[in-house]
Amino acid sequence: MMNISRPILDSVNLTDIQEFELVDIISSHALQLGFDYFSFVLRIPQSLTRPKLKSFDNYSEDWRRYYQKNECLLTDPAIQLSMRSSKPVVWTEKLYHQNKILWQEMKKDGHFVGVTQSCWGPQSIAGFLSFARGGAPISKTELKTIEQVLRPLSLSLFTRFYDLYRLDETYNTDEQIITLREREILRWTGDGKTAEDISIILNITPRTVHFHMNNVLNKLIVSNKVHAVMKAHLIGLL
């Protein structure tokens, strides 16, 4: 059993390490837990329907090509459920009932037994760490052991990739800071209020409401107020 009393990867500097070396390190953790494969995905919500994805894994090139070509990450039931749960999600045939094609492809490729752990950071950026194998299903006892490693490892990877890609700088530049007044107007807009309604509520002119909303559109790089409200909510501004 590996030592889980200290944060995993504390001694690993991702700015100096090559990706193949990191793959070897995580593969080693996976093997110690009885799994042949792993993947880590960073989901960055730069778009409402097409989030930016950064990932690395030790799957075969054929599987990686299939998964990316068919955009499986957007429909993978394990990922979808992990986005709504902080607990490890165990892969089962029942879970993949809505995506039987993907389940069958996973079985053919020999990694249909698996578990996914999510972790979340600022601006709704999420990380997903998965371990997978063929063979025996994951027992309740095994899951308890896995969970002790999955949580700190997923958080460790998330933190280091967040820093590596400088996501804090990307989302928190001076040009993107939403003022208190702009936030108020966004919230009322999200509640269906018109500029005239908001002007009465906040005791300002409709022209001032439009002025602040135009500033929001420019800061969030969107084209209309509906998109502005949705994106602000998506990245945690509302």
Structure confidence by residue, pLDDT tens digits, 104-157: 999 999 999 999 999 988 777 889 999 999 989 999 999 999 998 888 888 888
Per-residue tokens: 189: 């807009």
Give the model's pLDDT for residue 173.
Answer: 47
Distance of CA 83 to the CA centre of its chain: 7
Give the model's pLDDT for residue 172.
Answer: 52
From the number of C-beta atoms within 10 Å of its C-beta (0-12, 13-18, 19+), residue 16 rates as exposed
Domain locations along the chain:
19-169, 173-234
Q: Do domains 19-169 and 173-234 have the same CATH topology?
A: no
Give the model's pLDDT for residue 5.
Answer: 35
* pLDDT tens readout for residues 168-204: 655 554 556 788 899 999 999 999 999 999 999 999 9
pTM of this prediction? 0.73
pLDDT band (50, 70, 90) for residue 10: low
Q: How far apart are CA 151 and CA 108, in angstroms?
A: 29
Per-residue tokens: 204: 């300002």
Give the model's pLDDT for residue 13.
Answer: 59
Give the model's pLDDT for residue 176.
Answer: 61
Per-residue tokens: 238: 């509302």
* pLDDT tens readout for residues 15-63: 566 667 778 888 988 998 999 999 999 888 776 667 788 888 999 999 9
CATH 3.30.450.80 for domain 19-169, yes or no, is yes
Give the model's pLDDT for residue 14.
Answer: 55
Closest CA to 238 of 216, 222, 209: 216
Cα separation values, 146 from 24, 36, 52, 130, 209, Å: 19, 14, 28, 11, 52
Give the model's pLDDT for residue 3.
Answer: 38
List the single range of 5-14, 73-82, 137-146, 156-165 with lowest mean pLDDT.
Answer: 5-14
Give the model's pLDDT for residue 54.
Answer: 83
Residue linked to tokens 């894994």:
57
Give the model's pLDDT for residue 7.
Answer: 44
Total Cβ atoms within 10 A of residue 56: 18
Q: For domain 173-234, give the fold.
A: Arc Repressor Mutant, subunit A (1.10.10)
Closest CA to 40 of 172, 164, 171, 123: 164
Choice between 143 and 236, residue whose per-residue pLDDT is larger: 143
pLDDT band (50, 70, 90) for residue 4: very low
CB distance 29 to 151 below 8 Å:
no
Total Cβ atoms within 10 A of residue 10: 8
